[in-house]
Structure 1
């Protein structure tokens, strides 16, 4: 269990988030819906600097055949192109799901000063989920991480996605079974092949 004195990954009370924070997280949720439309896990991200949206991105590893194409990484790439510099200090990155190790590492390299995430990720999250890397003081760069902004809404996006995917898989399996049963019934309805006898004649032909 995380110590109450640790900083970086403690869930922030809703009151500690500004109106801008809420607006940007909702924009990130819109990006997450874009991911869902492409059949991807619905995660979205937004990068803001000086109150302006610099870049947005959504999860797209399957469609792009790229395991690094998480929402945060794609957002950082867009921001680097927009600014002509991969370092985007004094900025806030909003993401609907707790970042994984890869994404948090990229944020640290990009000098992101603040990260705000929505739903926790107990399987791959490293901001208090599986690990708590922001609390690791030995890292050469630091970022402030606040979690829990619109967590329920962000979490429901994921829950609905996986529920629909499970339902679709069940429907596909049921359709396949029905097709197999129909094929079996059709095969069983075919007339049995008649046996052909062999006529034996004596040498006289009688």
Structure 2
């Protein structure tokens, strides 16, 4: 059986794979995986640009998929793995869907979530420095490229 840290690294790598898929559509590279009982129940990546939908964040899309797959909007005992620390909107959806734990890859520069005033689930940054760096590099490279092309 995998240790908690090794399991987190394995699932975070799957979230990174999702984030990389978003790059093909010129989306901000954020990927999310929802796991229950050590099984992936949903995976998603940002689709804001391709769907012209400001709410099409990876976390929201994964929550929607997980609810449909489990036939239950309450995602109790689930863990959300996401490559970037969730924003206020996504944190609210995480709270409402009853996800118990969030593991994120790199910190967000958008700190609006600090104004959310409900009891938050356990939210931890993955301790693996290599995974943190992969998530951070994905974001930095995307925005560097976007600035070059004037987006």
State the partner residue of 2:82: 95
State the partner residue of 2:121: 143
TM-score w.r.t. structure 2 length? Answer: 0.89
Report the secondary structure of 1:18's partner residue.
helix
RMSD of Structure 2 on Structure 1 (CA): 1.9
State the partner residue of 1:123: 110
Matched, 1:167 2:142: no
Structure showing the higher strand proportion among its residues? 2
Consecutive unaligned residues of structure 1, counting only runs of 5 or more, are: 1-15, 171-206
Deviating above 4 A after TM superposition, structure 1's stretches of 4 or more consecutive aligned residues are: none
Per-residue displacement from partner, 1:68-127 (whole Å, max 9, x unpaired)?
A: 00000000000011011111100100000010000000001100000001110122452x
TM-score w.r.t. structure 1 length? Answer: 0.66
Q: CA deviation at 1:132?
A: 6.6
- 2:81 and 2:74 map into 1 onto residues whose CA distance is 17
Report the secondary structure of 1:169's partner residue.
coil
Matches within 5 A, 1:1-206: 18-124=5-111, 126=113, 131=114, 133=116, 139=118, 141-149=119-127, 150-169=131-150
What is the total number of aligned residue pairs between the two structures? 146
- 2:48 and 2:82 map into 1 onto residues whose CA distance is 16
- 1:59 and 1:112 map into 2 onto residues whose CA distance is 19
Report the secondary structure of 1:76's partner residue.
helix
Structure exhibiting the larger radius of gyration computed from Cα positions: 1
State the partner residue of 1:184: none
- 1:91 and 1:163 map into 2 onto residues whose CA distance is 34
Q: CA deviation at 1:151?
A: 1.8
